[in-house]
Structures are given as C-alpha cells and as structure tokens.
Amino acid sequence: MTWKKFSGEIIQTPILEEVEAAIERETLLGNKLKVCIGTDSQVKGTVIDFATVIVFLREQHGGFMFIHQERSAIKMGIKERMLTEVQKSIDTAYRLCDLLDLYDVDLEVHADINTNPMFKSNQALHDAMGYILSMGFVFKAKPEAFASSYCANKMVQ
C-alpha cells in the first residue's frame, strides 16, 4: 500500500513507521496531536477513485496529512460506496490504533456521510456509525467529518 505526503512525495517506509516518526518529531517540538482518518470517493465513468487520509492536527499549530489513493472498477451503489469508504478508514485506523494509544494520541474516524436525510449518502449513516463505534473508534459525520469531506475530497477531484 503506497502512501504519500501532501507534497506528492512517496513515503518509502511502512506507514506505521512513518506515523511513529511523525508523532515523535511533533512531540519533541512540543505539539499535542490528534489524528483523524477519513476516506472519500468519486465516480469517474466506469471507475471509482478512493482517497484515504491520515490527518495530524497540531493543537493550535495547523496540521499535515498522509494520503493513500486507489482505483476500483467494481460497480457500487451509493450505500455500498459509502460503507467501502468507512471500511478503508477503519482498516487504516485499526492498523494505527495501538501505536496511537502508546503515544496517547486521540483518534477519530470521519465518514463522508451526511446527517441530513435529504442527501443520498444518509442511507448509510446508521450502518457506518454502528460499524465505527463498534470498533471502539470516535465517529464523526458531516459537517464535522473534515478529514473525509475536505482533506480526502481534495485528493479524489
């Protein structure tokens, strides 16, 4: 699985090592961190582009992110696509949660799902929320889910 920085630079080390190095670097600089993980997707003809982001928020000092992009040719309805986004975020969160616990870094999983029933993505809200919460993660949906709705969204456009 290839991850990159926002600059486009490919991360050469395993993502777990890169996240640990980032936490150690930021801690030495005196920054308190929170990590938010989210995924967004966009249908482009017969393919779906997905972007998963690991967003590091420095308390009162901005943030940075790592990005993983992938493409799927599998046809999906809106609910399946929303739950696939959630699955990708949970997979990443699960890989990182022990490390984040070790360093006492808070973690949130963000779902690009609208809480307003007027939007199509809302049909996946209860399933996504149950899935994320049952895994023991903090859940955020739109409009609070900036990792998926803004950060990941910029990577699939």
The total domain count for the chain is: 1
How far does Cα 44 stand from its chain's mean position?
Answer: 21
How far does Cα 145 stand from its chain's mean position?
Answer: 9
What is the distance between the alpha carbons of residues 134 and 120, in angstroms, rounded to a whole number?
Answer: 24
Task: Give residue 157's pLDDT.
Answer: 73
What is the distance between the alpha carbons of residues 145 and 110, in angstroms, rounded to a whole number?
Answer: 5
What is the distance between the alpha carbons of residues 58 and 55, in angstroms, rounded to a whole number?
Answer: 10
Task: Give residue 15's pLDDT.
Answer: 97
Task: Give residue 121's pLDDT.
Answer: 87
pTM for this prediction = 0.94
Parent domain of 127:
4-156
What is the distance between the alpha carbons of residues 86 and 145, in angstroms, rounded to a whole number?
Answer: 12
Task: Give residue 131's pLDDT.
Answer: 92
CATH of the domain at 74: 3.30.420
Residues of the chain with pLDDT under 70: none
Asked if residue 73 lies in contact with residue 49, where contact means CB atoms within 8 angstroms, the answer is no
- Tokens encoding 116: 């307003």
